[in-house]
């Protein structure tokens, strides 16, 4: 039987997906397991895979097949799959293969240099590689901008948040920037009048921390037949939906940060595992943008695992794991520890109240860099000025400042806004879930996360890219993203409890 145009597209995109998944595992290995001497060879391998994938996606006949498939008899999820195919094809055809390969090599090279620069707090040594990478990112942004009729920044943002626009983000971030300073002051005043939380005494051996993290991962629903937990310089979730790789980093003087990092990445992993299995290998079966992805990690970490209910369940498990004694291990102290608000330098360790300031800073800097209003050597001074303005802090070195995050050095420009959009989305989804399923909160307090996971799988994970981000949120919660929900969550947690 002759294949329809749509069937031919599904076959080609399935092959493309398999190659992209192979590249994802190579990328994980580069960050978690690969010896340093393999960096140059791995950069070449990944670049070649990207070139092959780009060639499949931009083959001359793909546009004709997409046009022909519009007249095929499509049903169910097929129209949405075709929509996503067109979106990927349109973006890909903006870039030449030479630019794709050059970008890939520059990303791998810059990331490898960043690892050493971060360890040595030496921003100067990464400037040449980062300048080359940024020039290529600008070139890609210009090509996408022309193809998609978007601004330079929106053309990059669109790859992480389809349909996202800087003008909309500006409204949300300006609102947050107006709300947070006074709110932060109120929270700090309130917490200053209460007993300070006590960090349990260590040391906390790495192997014990890992075992504790695994215990909570399993309780949340992570499937170790389809995933791993490893160590990397910067925590992340990678791999594929059937082979999810998450990483963390450990501090033997303080287990709290690493544990929340594991729980955060577990939220990402649960989303990946919950994507619709019948649509594996097709665009509609993939995650719907990074604000939804970040909402899943922040829902698990911030909404669930920093709640009083979770800590009532978790406190005795933590205490037993580290053989701790005393009041520092009581749920009330651990709750105050995990909801303590304190402006600090490191984004991934930031509390829920100050975290948006970290994201706003990075968003504004990367826009200036993309639009040519700032150059790479200007980053440290601009970073430090922004930290002082937003949080009243100046990083002691660039390790605690502009070298702390992987994203820019790995080529991920336009990604940062999705963190705070994700936090807002998480609050809205969790509120809707609790309202729809009263068993969720009592379950969390007993270590039973199945009611929550079922709701998420039905309303978010299992939807893949069937719906656009706005439509998914409306269907799940009854309305589009509402910043007031996030503000009310912060007020309730930090001023009323």
In this prediction, residue 497 carries a pLDDT of 75
Is 265 among the residues known to form the active site? yes
Q: What gap in Å lies between CA 383 and CA 375, rounded to an integer?
A: 12
Mean pLDDT in residue range 218-225? 98
Instruction: Give pLDDT tens digits for 445-490.
Output: 999 999 999 999 999 999 999 999 999 999 999 999 999 999 999 9
Mean pLDDT computed over every residue of the chain: 96
Distance of CA 88 to the CA centre of its chain: 20
In this prediction, residue 191 carries a pLDDT of 96
Long-range contacts made by residues 230-234, C-beta under 8 angstroms, separation at least 24?
Answer: 230/32, 230/33, 231/32, 232/31, 232/32, 233/31, 233/115, 233/118, 233/406, 234/31, 234/348, 234/405, 234/406
Mean pLDDT in residue range 432-436? 98
Percent of all residues in the chain with a pLDDT value above 90, rounded to a whole number: 97
Does pLDDT of 405 surpass 90?
A: yes
Does pLDDT of 183 surpass 80?
A: yes
218 or 257, which is more confident? 218
Does pLDDT of 154 surpass 80?
A: yes
Q: Alpha-carbon torsion 89, 369, 481, 258, what sign? A: positive
The pLDDT-based confidence of 362 (bands split at 50, 70, 90) is very high
Choice among 161, 265, 352, 366 that is catalytic:
265
Does pLDDT of 46 surpass 80?
A: yes
Nearest 5°: the CA angle 236, 237, 239 is 130
Mean pLDDT in residue range 84-103? 96
In this prediction, residue 146 carries a pLDDT of 97
In this prediction, residue 349 carries a pLDDT of 87
User: CA dihedral in degrees (273, 279, 277, 13; nearest 10)?
Assistant: -60
Does pLDDT of 40 surpass 80?
A: yes
255-285: buried (b, 16+ CB within 10 Å) or exposed (e) per residue?
Answer: bbbbbbbbbbbbbbbbbbbbbbeebbbbbbb
Q: Is the peptide bond before 203 cis (omega within 30 degrees of 0)?
A: yes
The pLDDT-based confidence of 151 (bands split at 50, 70, 90) is very high
Pairing of strands 243-248, 237-240: antiparallel
In this prediction, residue 266 carries a pLDDT of 98
Instruction: Give pLDDT tens digits for 224-267.
Output: 999 999 999 888 999 999 999 999 999 999 999 999 999 999 99
Mean pLDDT in residue range 55-84? 97
In this prediction, residue 234 carries a pLDDT of 81
Mean pLDDT in residue range 156-164? 95
Mean pLDDT in residue range 430-458? 98
């Amino acid at each position: 039987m002759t294949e329809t145009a749509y069937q031919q597209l599904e076959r080609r995109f399935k092959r493309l997906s398999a190659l992209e998944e192979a590249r994802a595992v190579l990328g994980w290995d580069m960050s978690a397991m690969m010896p340093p001497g393999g960096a140059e060879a791995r950069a070449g391998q990944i670049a070649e895979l990207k070139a092959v994938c780009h060639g499949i996606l931009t083959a001359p006949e793909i546009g004709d097949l997409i046009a022909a498939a519009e007249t095929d008899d499509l049903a169910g999820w097929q129209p949405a799959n075709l929509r996503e195919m067109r979106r990927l094809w349109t973006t890909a055809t903006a870039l030449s293969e030479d630019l794709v390969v050059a970008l890939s090599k520059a990303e791998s090279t810059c990331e490898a240099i960043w690892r050493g620069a971060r360890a040595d707090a030496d921003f100067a040594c990464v400037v040449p590689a980062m300048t080359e990478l940024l020039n290529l990112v600008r070139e890609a942004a210009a090509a996408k901008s022309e193809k998609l009729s978007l601004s330079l920044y929106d053309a990059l943002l669109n790859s992480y948040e389809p349909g996202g626009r800087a003008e909309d983000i500006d409204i949300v971030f300006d609102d947050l920037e107006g709300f947070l300073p006074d709110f932060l002051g109120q929270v700090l005043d309130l917490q200053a009048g209460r007993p300070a939380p006590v960090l349990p005494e260590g040391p906390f051996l790495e192997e014990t921390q890992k075992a504790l993290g695994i215990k909570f991962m399993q309780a949340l629903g992570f499937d170790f037949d389809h995933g791993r937990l490893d160590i990397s310089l910067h925590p992340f979730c990678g791999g594929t939906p059937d082979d999810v790789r998450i990483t963390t980093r450990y501090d033997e003087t303080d287990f709290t940060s690493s544990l929340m990092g594991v729980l955060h990445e577990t939220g990402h992993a649960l989303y990946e595992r919950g994507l619709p299995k019948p649509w594996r290998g097709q665009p509609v079966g993939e995650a719907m943008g990074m604000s939804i992805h970040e909402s899943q990690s922040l829902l698990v970490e911030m909404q669930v695992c920093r709640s009083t209910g979770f800590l009532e369940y978790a406190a005795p498990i933590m205490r037993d794991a580290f053989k701790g004694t005393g009041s520092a291990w009581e749920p009330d102290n651990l709750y105050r520890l995990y909801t303590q608000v304190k402006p600090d330098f490191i984004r991934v360790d930031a509390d829920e109240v100050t975290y948006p300031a970290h994201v706003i800073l990075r968003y504004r800097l990367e826009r200036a860099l993309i639009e040519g209003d700032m150059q790479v050597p200007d980053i440290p001074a601009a970073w430090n000025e922004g930290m002082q303005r937003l949080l009243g802090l100046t990083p002691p070195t660039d390790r605690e400042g502009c070298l702390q995050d992987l994203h820019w050095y790995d080529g991920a420009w336009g990604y940062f806004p999705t963190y705070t959009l994700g936090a807002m989305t998480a609050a809205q989804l969790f509120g809707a879930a609790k309202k729809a399923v009263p068993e969720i909160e009592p379950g969390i307090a007993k270590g039973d996360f199945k009611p929550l996971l079922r709701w998420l799988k039905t309303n978010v994970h299992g939807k893949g890219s069937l719906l656009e981000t706005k439509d998914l949120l409306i269907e799940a919660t009854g309305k589009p993203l509402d910043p007031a929900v996030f503000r009310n969550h912060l007020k309730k947690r930090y001023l009323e409890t």
